[in-house]
Amino acid sequence: MKFATLSLALATVSAGLAAPSQGPGGKYYGKAKGLNDLARRAGLLYFGTAVDNPSLNNSKYLSIAYDTSEFGQATPANGQKWMYIEPQRNVFNYTMGDAIIKPAKNNGQMRRCHTFLWHSQLPDWLTSKNYTKTELISILENHIKNEATYYKNDCYAWDVVNEAFNEDGTYRNTLWLWTIGPEYLEYAFKFARKYTSRQTKLYYNDYNVERVNNKSIAIAKMVRDFQRKGVPIDGVGFQAHFKTGSTPSYEEQVASMKQFTKLGLEVAITELDVRTLLPDSAEKQAQQAKDYANTVKACKDTDDCVGVTVWDFWDPVSWVPDVFPGEGVACLWSANYTKKPAYYAVADVLGEDD
């Protein structure tokens, strides 16, 4: 149990607040109305969601995305990526990032900012020319300097580097690696520390790391190397893009997160979704509910796991069907805005100590 949970539980007892009550289709706990309320009561900083720019035209969608009882944090799914932020060399355009970050900030929602350095969604000017090592380091610094300065007081955390490792724990072969060498990671984190505000948490973010495996072990080794050399890093993000019925177990997820919390880092679930082989069924939804709940519980029970972000909450805008044909329905809300069993399972797990 997290410290905040304990103190909250004591405060609840002493204040004589209402005991958890049962509601139709799920339980409701005290005054908590949604997942973020429950997450905060359980000692997490937030329950959050990715939001993508096309969704900003959908008022029904926004009424949920901006409901702070459900979501206390927003992450731009695309709007802060390199191809949109710096579409021409040294020409910066914050329109798409601002469209997500500004309303969330005005609404009192935290923001996870995503991402300074990735191998994907890079602009043509960057990928279509061979730069020297010195040039690319200076391009990287200029990009981080501008974006970090622009969003200086806007981000609880930045995903500084995204998906730099292969499954076997070797470095992914990207233009960053082949031009600069593995030290590009150190440059990115040093530049991020130099230009973000002091409180901003600097994260490394990746998928398929929710077990102790070659990839997560390699990332833990990188963290230890950073710490030895004085390279700043504050957190590791576990994307948690999962498949119904074959997610890592609760124990495996806790063990993987502990590789990093024992080094003094915080961790977070940053892109949770659980995709299902179509057609969907009641049985598959029940399994998906268990899978979602397991991951949320693993974070809740791990000291220094600060929060859970779903990689969008509404099936029609999920990235899954584009990339995995025949799979889908990966989110907590279905196409007709019904909350799925997974929603209630997550609520139950967050509220279970009340």
Residues that bind ligand 9MR (CB under 6 A): 52, 77-78, 120-121, 162, 239, 271, 319
Output 71 or 344, the one with its CB closest to ligand 9MR.
71
- Cα 200 to Cα 107, 148, 156, 234, 278: the distances in Å are 19, 10, 5, 9, 40
Output 95 or 121, the one with its CB closest to ligand 9MR.
121
Position of tokens 């929602």?
Answer: 109
* Closest distance of CB 213 from ligand 9MR, Å: 18
* Closest distance of CB 280 from ligand 9MR, Å: 20
Q: Which two tokens stand for residue 350?
A: 């967050």
- Cα 340 to Cα 3, 90, 98, 230: the distances in Å are 31, 45, 31, 45
Is 86 a known active-site residue? no
CA 275 – CA 315 distance, rounded (Å)? 10
Q: How many CB atoms lie within 10 A of CB 293?
A: 22
* Closest distance of CB 4 from ligand 9MR, Å: 29
* Closest distance of CB 35 from ligand 9MR, Å: 20
Output 28 or 203, the one with its CB closest to ligand 9MR.
203
Q: How does strand 110-117 pair with strand 73-76?
A: parallel
* Closest distance of CB 135 from ligand 9MR, Å: 25
CA 217 – CA 169 distance, rounded (Å)? 7
Q: Which of 141, 271, 283, 327 is catalytic?
A: 271
CA 317 – CA 73 distance, rounded (Å)? 18
Number of continuous H segments (helices) and E segments (strands) in the chain: 14, 12
Residue at shortest CB range from ligand 9MR:
319
Output 10 or 335, the one with its CB closest to ligand 9MR.
335
Q: How many CB atoms lie within 10 A of CB 280?
A: 16
Question: What stretch of H or E contains 279?
Answer: none
Output 62 or 83, the one with its CB closest to ligand 9MR.
83
Q: Which two tokens stand for residue 198?
A: 């002091």
| Active site members | 271
